[in-house]
Structure 1
C-alpha cells in the first residue's frame, strides 16, 4: 500500500516511524520542508521525498502541488503531521479517494466556531485523528458545541515512540556554557511560553534548602514574565539562561534533575523523553500527556501545575536523596525503552490503516529504523 506522509519538520520519532513503515512493506512517500532533518536516512531506505514550504493555511500553490502528487502517485492514504499543512491537504484531496489521517500533538485550541479549526482537525474530510497522548483524545471527545462533535471512532491515542539508545550520547559539559560545577543542576528545556510555567519553577528554586542548587533554562523565551521573575529573584545568581541550543538533548543529559513545569496543553513532551532516555529523573506536572510518560514515584515525580510549593517539595526530595535520583533515572530510561517504542507506534498505526483501508501489513523486515 502506498502512503503519502506530509510534514513540515521531521523529528526523531517520526524518522523511526517512517523507517518502520518501510520495514512492514509500505510504499512510503514524504512531503516536507527542504530543510527538514533525516532526509538522507529516508532516501537510503528507498523513500521518495518531495519539498513543499507551507505559506499559510490557504496556500494555493501548495494545494496544487499536493493535488498533482496525489493524482500521480495515487496513495491509498495521506497522513498529515502538521496543522498548517492539514488545511491545505484537505482542499487538495477534497474529492479524491485517499483516506486522510491527521496527527494531533497538543491539547486544546480547537473551537467549532473557529473557521481555522473547521478547516483542519474538525473537518469532515478527516477520516481519523491520531492523538499523541490520551489527554488530547479526551479533550477532542469533550469538544462539543450544540450538535457538533468529533465521533469517538475517529479518534485514537498512539504514543510516539523513541529509541532510547538514539538519545544516549555523551552529555555536554555545563561548564562550557558558564554553569559552575559547585552544586546540583536542575534543568528545563522548552520553548518558554506562558503555558510552560517557568515562573513557578523559579519560585520553587527560591524555596530549596540547598543553597548551591542551580537552575539551567534552555530554549527561546517568549514569556516576558520569565525575565521579570529572574531579575527580581533572590536566587538570580543561580539561574542560567542558555537560549536556544542545537544540542539541547546532550545538555539535558548533564542535568541532575529535569523539570517541565507546564501549566496546560502539553502533548507528549519530547524534551522529557530525551532526558528520561539519558537516565535523568524528571519532575513534571499533571498537564496533558506528561503523567502518561512519568509514573509518579517510580520513574519520576508528578506535581500539580502552577504549584511552586509542590514543585519545591519534589525537587528538594530528589536533591536530598541521590539514591532516589539514580533509581528514578534508571526507571525513566527503562520506561521509554519498554513502553514508548517505535515498534509499538508502528504496530498501532498500521492497525488504524488496516481499519481504514483493509490493507494488511507484511511481517517486519530487519529493523532499518534502528540504524543510525
Structure 2
C-alpha cells in the first residue's frame, strides 16, 4: 500500500537536529528526502561522538532513509546545478539565520518564482523578523527566553538544565512538520506553495497555556508554587529509603484518595494543611520504605505513580518492547546497524521495509547531473 507522502520530494538544507528530524518524519511517511550538505564535512552531526561506522550514531538515527548531495552553495554554478531539483521539489527545509538563503540565491522569493508550488520551511530560533531574529542561540537559550526555564528551579532556586532539547524538537521539528503538511494540503486547493516561518522560541509559549491563562488573571506562575511546578503534594518527585525516586502525579481526587491510603496518610487531613506542610508529610512517609516496596504496593492501583528509571532501563521495558518501538533498524553506508529512532508516525503510514540506510556524504551527487 502506498505511503501517504509517496511522491513528495524534499530538499533538506538543514543540519543538526530540528530540520533533519523534521525531514526524517517526512521520510518515514514515504517522502523522498535529499540532504544538501557541504563537501568534505557535511552535516555537523556527522562528526559527533560516539560513532557508528564513518558517522556519528546521532547522524545515523536522524537521517534514516535519506539521500545525500555534497555541494558548495557558494560556488558560482551551485544554483544552476541545483535548479532542476528545486523545480521538481515539493518541500524545502532550511534553518540558516534569516537572509542567508537569500544571499545564496536560494531565498523563497527566487525559488518560488521558479517553482510556485514549493513549500519552503524556514526553521530558526527567533523567526524571520523581530529584534532578536539575528541573535545567536541554542535550545537552552530559547527555553530561557520563553519563560519556561524559570519554572524548573530546584530547592535552591536555581533553574535546572532540561533533560531534552525541547525547543529544537517541540518548537522546531513538530511545528515544522505540522505546517508543512498543512501547506501541502492548502497547495492541493490553491496550486501554490508557501513560506513557513517556524520560530522555536515562539512555539514554546504553547506549552505554557496554563501559565499564560493564570497570568492573564494576574496570577503569574512561580517555581514551586503552582500545580505542575511543585506547589502541591499531588504532583511531586519523592525520594525513597534506598535513594531512588518516585514520580507521583495523583492529581484527581480519586487517585489522590487511593494514593494517600496506600502510603498511610489521610487525604482530608493533608488537604487541610498548607501545601508545603502536606508535601513534607508525604515526603516523610515515602522516605520510610524502598522503591521496591512502593512499586509492589502501588502495583495494579490507580495512583498515577511510578519509579524514576534511567534511559537504559526504560529502553528494556517489556511494555515498549511489546509495542515494537525499537523493532526497526537503520544501516550505515558501511553496513553497521542499530535500532532506528522511534518516531511518532503511525505504523500504518511507514515503509514495510524495517531496515533503511543513512546516506554516505555525497552518495547521490549523480542527481545533480540529470
TM-score (norm 2): 0.36
Q: Which has the larger Rg? A: 2
Higher RCO (Cα < 8 Å, 6 or more apart): 2
TM-score (norm 1): 0.36
